[in-house]
Amino acid sequence: MSDLPYQRILLKLSGEILAGENGTGIDPSVVSYFAREIKSVVDQGLEVCLVIGGGNIFRGGANTRNIERVTGDYMGMLGTVINALAIQDALEKSGIPTRVQTAISITQVAEPFIRRRAMRHLEKGRVLIFAAGTGNPFFTTDSAAALRAAEMNVDALLKGTKVDGVYDKDPVTHADAVRYTSLSYEEAIEQNLKVMDLSAIALCRENKIPIIVFNFKEPGHLLRVIKGEPIGTILGG
């Protein structure tokens, strides 16, 4: 572990990835893939925190029809809890001890977020899964990931996506899109590259937490990132 550039990370994943080709819900084969990838870095001695979105279950926000914004955001938080429990189940079946901590109280299925308790779990080698966002409406899981990354004193925030980094334009619709290997926080904000929410990037900048954006769907990329290989795009590194 001492040879790794990062000793403690927070991995941010979107809920949509969990849906696989179905588009919604949870694909068991994808959950198993998640568990294998995370186990590969836990086996290296890394301390791992996770934040998972809930868009595959329910996406809140301003565009939610006929549902009040605040209500929709709380529904989205509950979606992240469902995903967290699915990941916890898969990890523990792989022999990885975990704890789910939530920003809203659901004590029958998860612990409330208590920073000192969370730190102790990491010291004991448990993977921590943070669910229910920040516990507040109007904040995304990107903001929650940045907040928990700062609270847990992580060495890097890794954002796993479907693409291999940050581009100057959408690579799906623009064949001439150029991938950045590195960016400053300011460049990402000024160019509005939509790496993460502006508030999340600003929080990482304030706490000097590098953000690494990479293709999580590519097997082995997570392990390569934590070994310091030039995978994806690094912000603020």
d(CA 80, CA 86): 10
Q: Please say if the pLDDT value at position 98 is more than 80.
A: yes
Compute the distance between CA of residue 127 and CA of residue 192 in angstroms, rounded to an integer: 33
Closest CA to 160 of 133, 187, 142, 136: 142
Instruction: Give residue 2's pLDDT band: very low, low, confident or very high (50, 70, 90).
Output: low
CATH of segment(s) 8-235: 3.40.1160.10
Q: Compute the residue count for the chain.
A: 237
Name the strand (E) or helix (H) holding 211. strand 211-215
Q: pLDDT band at residue 193, thresholds of 50, 70 and 90?
A: confident
Query: Where do the domains of the chain lie?
Result: 8-235
- For residue range 141-155, what is the model confidence (pLDDT) as tens digits? 999 999 999 999 999
Cβ pair 227, 156 in contact under 8 A = no
What pLDDT score was predicted for residue 63?
63
- Predicted TM-score (pTM) of this structure: 0.93
Whether the Cβ atoms of residue 98 and residue 91 lie closer than 8 Å to each other: yes
Question: Would you say residue 1 has pLDDT above 60?
Answer: no
Condensed to tens digits (0 to 9), the pLDDT of residues 122-180 reads 999 999 999 999 999 999 999 999 999 999 999 999 999 988 999 988 888 888 989 99
User: What secondary structure letter does DSSP report for 164?
Assistant: S
Average pLDDT over residues 41-63: 89
